[in-house]
Structure 1
Amino acid sequence: MQKIKTKLKILTRATLVISLLSLFFYPGNIGATEYTLDDYTNQEIWEINQDINERRSEIQELKRQIDVYKKNISAKQRELYNLSNQIGTLNESIAKINLESQATELEVETLELKIENTELKIQAKEREIGDQKNILARNIRQLHKEQQNNSVLEILLLNENFSDFVAELDRLESMQDSLVDGVEELNEFKIALEQDQDSLENEKTEIDTLKGILENKKASLDGQKVAKYYLMSATQGEEAKYQEMLEGAKKEQEKINSDIVYMEQVAREKLNRQLEQIGIEDSEGLMWPVPSRIVTAYFHDEDYPYRYIFEHNAIDVATPQGTAIRATESGYVAKVRDGGQYGYSYIMLVHANKLSSVYGHVNVISVEEDQFVSKGQIIGYSGGQPGTRGAGPFSTGAHLHFEVRVNGVPVNPLNYLP
């Protein structure tokens, strides 16, 4: 008797079934479920996964070859400084960067396949959710219809015996349980769909990052090729000419470093007085000196082709010859050096908060020493193309050499740029 009372309570609650529609959009605390794919979609996903695995194998092989070139470059950099070794280092570096570009291209292709895979899953889930909604709507209409047409008393009168009455109650209870299960399954599909959509967005962000890296690699590769061509042209394959260039570059670099440290100290006092007079407020941070964000050589970059001559205390930003260079922050022009047609030209600015910035391979200088400049003001135009004014003897193509220093000590500019 107690069992029948329970079933009667279930049936009388049937009037509330329509409210289950609100569950369609209630995520609850249930986990995502896998969905059933049709045979065609399964085949597509399987083929995509096969392509992904093939590219991963290719990437691993390229990385193995890259490691070999890294060891070769490291070995050559420890050898005597002569023209043959420098050309050999450039050749190894060109080959390594070329392989890195190929590996990055494969990584981009792999991500594109993963995106295609995820999109197929999303489409399958959307179809499954649509089908599930249709099934639930049909079941709700059926249950609602039966509840309206047959009361508990009518069910009792319509059945010839008591056991048929109980069986009918069991059927209606099963229908309601099935409806609730269907709603829960729909919610699980919705959660799984949202997770795949999040994965898709992450994959798209990652592929944009990889494409940026690939662009940097290609620009770096071009720079290495330019450096090799210019070195061979300038020395005409003669060791004596190379050694002369090398010695001149070392002395020039030593003087530049000495001048920068000294002028940073001298200019700091002038800057502080200037800042007090004009009352400039604290800045929100440094700005990029050129529009490009393509970095071809990083701070203390191991792949920098002339690292054994002098440490790379900057980032190299690829930018077309003649690009306007803007002050990364308001400051005082502490040093301007015009290297002429064959020497190295640079501008040094001293800023507040113990910062200073250096802009190298400048083709055209637009400021003078002891001048105060505002953040974003044009201070010159970029160069770096070998053989052009201000590029210096060792340059890797058109770019801006950009340094940031704290108390005269070089630091990684990327830690200060937005």
Structure 2
Amino acid sequence: MKKKLWLTILVLLMGGVNLCHGQSLNTTAAEVADFDVQSATSNMQDLKSNLDEVVSQLYSLDEKERGTDNAISDKYRATRKEIVNVIQTINQTTDTIGEQLKKITTYKKLMLLTYKDIQASRSGMVDTKQYIEDFSNFIYKLDNKLYNENTNTIDDLKLMINSDNIPLTLANDSLVQSMILQLNDLMNNFQQNEETQLETIKKLNDLKTRTKDTIEQYQTEIEKLQQKKNYLLQFMKLYQNDTRQRQLTINNFFESTKGVYDRTVELVKDIKKWVYKVDFDMERKITALNELENDNEAYPLAWPLYPIEQIQTYFGDINFQTEYGVPHVGIQIKAGQWTPVYAARDGIVYFVADNDEIGINRAMIVHTDGYVTIYQYLKKTVIKPGDTVRRGQIIWYSWWEPGTRGAGFISKGANLTFEIFKDGIAMDPFEILDASIVKDKEALPDGYQIKYLRDKYARPIDITNLELMTGTTLAKRENQFLIKYGVGVYKQVAFREDAVKDTNIDKDMVICIAFAESTLGRYLSTNANIGNVGNNDRWDRVPFTSAYGWARAIPVTLNNAYLWAYHTINQLSRYGNKDGNIYASSPINWQTNVLKCLSQIKGYYIPEDFPFRTGPNPNINNPTPETITFGETLTQ
């Protein structure tokens, strides 16, 4: 019993007390600490201040529109309805922001109190640790006057040395036993306090995360409010002109959907006839594209965003045609705000409408084999006419509600409208895309469910029986997966977030590369090295000084001078890249394991050409040797 106790004490003294079991303790994230609720409230009130004036102007316009015949036209009535809708959404947005600011205030107060509790507890635990150390040293010296350290029996030599005071020394033995029991109780109490502090730290980290998320939601809502207000004021300014200008404004408003359709059809007809109305050499770019394009893809086109949770309007929707007077030649895909939008195939950017003013933002990309794709209702572009884009490359970000940039007044909510033309004819995207990527088969119409099943069983890599994580959100599924498969620091979500910070690589992609090559830290080929990063064809294994150094090396490698131009998973291994630079030499296993892992975390089937970038490559204009640090030898 003594020996085990001394080993425990020795570990305690040499290693120190682990006050938080690996839980990071920062006061708050910078964006939380720096967030000024009072200033944010003032900003919201300023943005809303002109709303009453706009309503008053609207009533004045009613009088102008009536004119002398005391009648309001149907077009004006419909326009007014849309303006009122935007005003109502401004009110709703303001209410939402108010609630978010209340939450942030509450969270910050709780965080401060919790942090003070942790600091007080930690200070007490440090003092207790010192007390345990001093107490242990005293017992150790007392206990070792007679006992042999190896056999735990009375040592003859020690007995002879202490012969003048043997009765007192032996009497101390019972004292030692009593003190050891007290020390054991003290250490148990210390451990309980440590566990309590761990729970408090987890509570603080949870508060920090919730506060950060709420601040991000506030920033999104305040941007929407700013755009809606500017959009509304701009429209009202145009409308307040003379009768003729008001009529033109209404016509432009009502013809926006039809105008976009007519413009699209006109451009597609020209392209079919090889008539290119652009200021760059389109024919030369198409020739270069034919030499560049990879024709080994399972499907001619890929989905332009992920996940596919809901199709709001299908190809050929009759209600759409009745309302807008033009056929619906695409699909409207539900899209969260700032969702990346990807090029469906290698192509040349032919046309871009990037409106800061009233209008629908959209892009047209020309591909080989007679394909043309169109993307509508977009927020921010990262492309321009004449650019060559690759399959899975980010081209835009989706946006949100009527009255926000790129959505116009007629947007029905958060969506991306995606259209496909083949040889000048509009095609139903579901007939061309992999339908099995849709998250919920039961939400599809019957005909599309058949296509879903056909595509499901035609998948190049069969993951039909794969068990998906059950969490209701992506964050919960990530955490569930890491807890199930990771070890030590490798199972911490915050560790993964730090690893991809300031890169454009999907965090889940880094998790799944680690899973495919080391089962998240269970099988390391060298210190902190999963197997691929930093290796070469001689099978050299480069150790890392820390787990973070290795984890960070993965996204850095994917952005180096050899791999920076790749956008989809199948380009990274010999599975889909037969003779180019690669990350992994495996012809099948690496691709299979990464896809299975991503599917479990994302909650739906991940295709082989899934895009792994979440933003433009930070090294795209300068893939210098500094970006080759971890992977130069790997891709020879």
Range of TM-score over shorter length: 0.5 to 0.7
Rounded to whole Å, the distance in 1 between the matches of 2:332 and 2:240 is: 26
Assess if the C-alpha contact under 8 Å between 2:333 and 2:417 holds in 1.
yes
Rounded to whole Å, the distance in 1 between the matches of 2:406 and 2:134 is: 76
Residue 293 of structure 2 corresponds to 279
Q: Which amino acid aligns with 2:292?
A: I
Deviation readout 1:111-146 (Å, 9 max, x if unpaired): 222321331222122112212212211221221232
Equivalent pairs counted in the alignment come to 311
What is the DSSP-based 3-state SS (H/G/I as helix, E as strand, rest coil) of the residue aligned with 1:347?
A: strand
Residue 126 of structure 1 corresponds to 122
Rounded to whole Å, the distance in 1 between the matches of 2:248 and 2:178 is: 94
Assess if the C-alpha contact under 8 Å between 1:356 and 1:408 holds in 2.
no
Q: Which amino acid aligns with 1:17?
A: W
Rounded to whole Å, the distance in 1 between the matches of 2:407 and 2:224 is: 18
Assess if the C-alpha contact under 8 Å between 1:347 and 1:360 holds in 2.
no
Rounded to whole Å, the distance in 2 between the matches of 1:92 and 1:408 is: 35
Offset of residue 336 of structure 1: 6.0
Offset of residue 97 of structure 1: 1.0
Residues 103, 169 of structure 1: alpha-carbon distance in 2 compared, 3 angstrom cutoff? same
Assess if the C-alpha contact under 8 Å between 2:139 and 2:179 holds in 1.
yes
Assess if the C-alpha contact under 8 Å between 1:83 and 1:239 holds in 2.
no
Offset of residue 100 of structure 1: 1.1
Assess if the C-alpha contact under 8 Å between 1:349 and 1:356 holds in 2.
yes
Residues 332, 268 of structure 1: alpha-carbon distance in 2 compared, 3 angstrom cutoff? farther
Rounded to whole Å, the distance in 2 between the matches of 1:96 and 1:145 is: 73
Rounded to whole Å, the distance in 2 between the matches of 1:338 and 1:126 is: 55
Alignment match of 2:9 (pick from 17, 20, 23):
20
Q: Which amino acid aligns with 1:120?
A: K
Alignment match of 1:182 (pick from 186, 189, 193):
186
2:216 equivalent to 1:216: no
Rounded to whole Å, the distance in 2 between the matches of 1:129 and 1:198 is: 18
Assess if the C-alpha contact under 8 Å between 1:122 and 1:193 holds in 2.
yes
Bigger radius of gyration? 1
Rounded to whole Å, the distance in 2 between the matches of 1:251 and 1:132 is: 76
Residues 287, 18 of structure 1: alpha-carbon distance in 2 compared, 3 angstrom cutoff? same
Assess if the C-alpha contact under 8 Å between 1:286 and 1:328 holds in 2.
yes
2:231 equivalent to 1:227: yes
Residue 203 of structure 1 corresponds to 207
2:373 equivalent to 1:373: no
Q: Which amino acid aligns with 1:219?
A: E
Offset of residue 253 of structure 1: 0.8
Residue 107 of structure 2 corresponds to 111
Offset of residue 217 of structure 1: 0.9
Assess if the C-alpha contact under 8 Å between 1:317 and 1:402 holds in 2.
no
Which one scores higher on RCO, CA 8 angstroms, separation ≥ 6? Answer: 1
Residues 281, 106 of structure 1: alpha-carbon distance in 2 compared, 3 angstrom cutoff? farther
Residues 239, 224 of structure 1: alpha-carbon distance in 2 compared, 3 angstrom cutoff? farther
Rounded to whole Å, the distance in 2 between the matches of 1:333 and 1:127 is: 61
Residues 257, 347 of structure 1: alpha-carbon distance in 2 compared, 3 angstrom cutoff? same
Residue 375 of structure 2 corresponds to 358
Assess if the C-alpha contact under 8 Å between 2:362 and 2:374 holds in 1.
no
What is the DSSP-based 3-state SS (H/G/I as helix, E as strand, rest coil) of the residue aligned with 2:144?
A: helix
Residue 553 of structure 2 corresponds to none
Residue 158 of structure 1 corresponds to 167
What is the DSSP-based 3-state SS (H/G/I as helix, E as strand, rest coil) of the residue aligned with 2:188?
A: helix
What is the DSSP-based 3-state SS (H/G/I as helix, E as strand, rest coil) of the residue aligned with 1:233?
A: helix
Deviation readout 1:48-102 (Å, 9 max, x if unpaired): xxxxxxxxxxxxxxxxxxxxxxxxxxxxxxxx95354334323322221112112
- The CA RMSD measured in Å over matched residues stands at 6.0
Deviation readout 1:20-62 (Å, 9 max, x if unpaired): 231465999xx99xxxxxxxxxxxxxxxxxxxxxxxxxxxxxx
Rounded to whole Å, the distance in 1 between the matches of 2:409 and 2:179 is: 81
Assess if the C-alpha contact under 8 Å between 1:335 and 1:347 holds in 2.
yes
Matches within 5 A, 1:236-275: 236=240, 245-246=249-250, 248-257=252-261, 260=264, 275=289
Q: Which amino acid aligns with 1:331?
A: G
Assess if the C-alpha contact under 8 Å between 2:79 and 2:250 holds in 1.
no
Offset of residue 218 of structure 1: 0.9
Q: Which amino acid aligns with 1:98?
A: T
Q: Which amino acid aligns with 2:204?
A: L
2:347 equivalent to 1:331: yes
Rounded to whole Å, the distance in 2 between the matches of 1:363 and 1:141 is: 66
Assess if the C-alpha contact under 8 Å between 2:349 and 2:364 holds in 1.
yes
Offset of residue 184 of structure 1: 3.1
Assess if the C-alpha contact under 8 Å between 1:333 and 1:349 holds in 2.
yes
Percent identical across equivalent pairs?
A: 14
Q: Which amino acid aligns with 2:347?
A: G
Assess if the C-alpha contact under 8 Å between 1:333 and 1:367 holds in 2.
yes
Matches within 5 A, 1:388-399: 394=409
Residues 372, 355 of structure 1: alpha-carbon distance in 2 compared, 3 angstrom cutoff? same
Residue 137 of structure 1 corresponds to 133
Residue 5 of structure 1 corresponds to none
Assess if the C-alpha contact under 8 Å between 1:111 and 1:203 holds in 2.
yes
Offset of residue 349 of structure 1: 1.6
Q: Which amino acid aligns with 1:347?
A: A
Offset of residue 279 of structure 1: 3.4
Q: Which amino acid aligns with 1:204?
A: K
Q: Which moved more, 1:233-242 or 1:141-150?
A: 233-242
What is the DSSP-based 3-state SS (H/G/I as helix, E as strand, rest coil) of the residue aligned with 1:348?
A: strand
Rounded to whole Å, the distance in 2 between the matches of 1:214 and 1:178 is: 54
Q: Which amino acid aligns with 2:108?
A: E
Offset of residue 221 of structure 1: 0.8
Residues 175, 86 of structure 1: alpha-carbon distance in 2 compared, 3 angstrom cutoff? same
Rounded to whole Å, the distance in 1 between the matches of 2:3 and 2:334 is: 74
Residue 76 of structure 1 corresponds to none
Assess if the C-alpha contact under 8 Å between 1:355 and 1:404 holds in 2.
no
Rounded to whole Å, the distance in 2 between the matches of 1:217 and 1:208 is: 14
Rounded to whole Å, the distance in 1 between the matches of 2:98 and 2:376 is: 32
Q: Name the TM-score, length of structure 1 as normaliser.
A: 0.52
Rounded to whole Å, the distance in 1 between the matches of 2:114 and 2:4 is: 41
